[in-house]
Structure 1
Amino acid sequence: MTRPVRSSLDAAGLATYAAAQLNAMFPDPDCVAADELRSAVDIALARLDHCFSHIDNRYFFDGQNTVFSHLHGDQYAMWLYLLANELHRQGAPASLCSKLFLLNKALHGLDAYYEVELPSVFLLVHPLGTVLGRGHYSDFFVAYQRCGIGSNNDVFPTLGRHLTLRPGAAVLGACTIGDHCQIAAESLVLDRDLPANTLYIGNPKTAVTKHQDKPYPLWRV
Structure 2
Amino acid sequence: MSTNPTLRQLLREDLQAARAQDPAARSDLEVGLAYSGVHAIWSHRIARALWDRSWRAPARLLSQFTRFLTGVEIHPGASLGRRPFIDHGAKIVIGETTVIGDDVMMYQGATLGGRALDRGKRHPTVGNNVMLGSGCRILGPVTIGDNCAIGANAVVVTDIPADSIALGIPAIHRHKDGQYPMDPRTDLIDPSLLL
| 1:170 aligns with one of 127, 133, 137 | 137
User: 2:182 — aligned with what?
Assistant: 214
1:135-173 CA-partner distances (Å, limit 9, x unpaired): 222111111111111222343322211111111001112
Q: Does 1:147 align with 2:110?
A: yes
Please name the residue that 1:198 is paired with.
164
Cα distance in 2 for partners of 1:90, 1:178 equals 30
Q: CA deviation at 1:210?
A: 5.7
- Superposition pairs for residues 69-148 of structure 1, below 5 Å? 69-91=32-54, 93-133=55-95, 134-148=97-111
* Cα 1:202–1:210 shift into 2, 3 Å: farther
- Shift of residue 61 of structure 1? 9.1
The 1:199–1:141 alpha-carbon spacing in structure 2 relative to 1, beyond 3 Å, is: same
- Pair 176,115 (structure 1): closer, same or farther in 2 beyond 3 Å: closer
Return 5+ residue gaps in structure 2 as ranges.
Answer: 1-5, 188-195
Alignment: residue pair count:
171
Q: CA deviation at 1:183?
A: 0.8
Distance of aligned partners of 1:149 and 1:69 in 2 relative to their CA distance in 1, 3 Å threshold: same
Aligned-pair CA distance for 1:89: 3.1
Q: Hey, what's the Cα distance between the residues in 2 that align with 1:71 and 1:45?
A: 19
Change (3 A) 1:159 1:103: same
Q: Taking structure 1 as the reference length, what is the TM-score of the superposition?
A: 0.66
Change (3 A) 1:96 1:127: same
1:160 aligns with 2:123: no
Kept in 2: contact 1:101–1:111 (CA 8 A): yes
**Structure 2 residue identity aligned to 1:106:** F
Inter-CA distance 156–94: structure 2 relative to 1 (3 Å threshold) = closer
TM-score (norm 2): 0.74
Cα distance in structure 1, aligned partners of 2:59 and 2:173: 40
User: For 1:85, what is the secondary structure of its paired residue?
Assistant: helix
CA separation in 1, counterparts of 2:132 and 2:105? 6
> Which AA in structure 2 matches 1:161?
N
| Structure with larger Rg | 1
C-alpha contact (below 8 Å) 1:49/1:66 kept by paired residues = no
Letter in 1 for 2:46: L
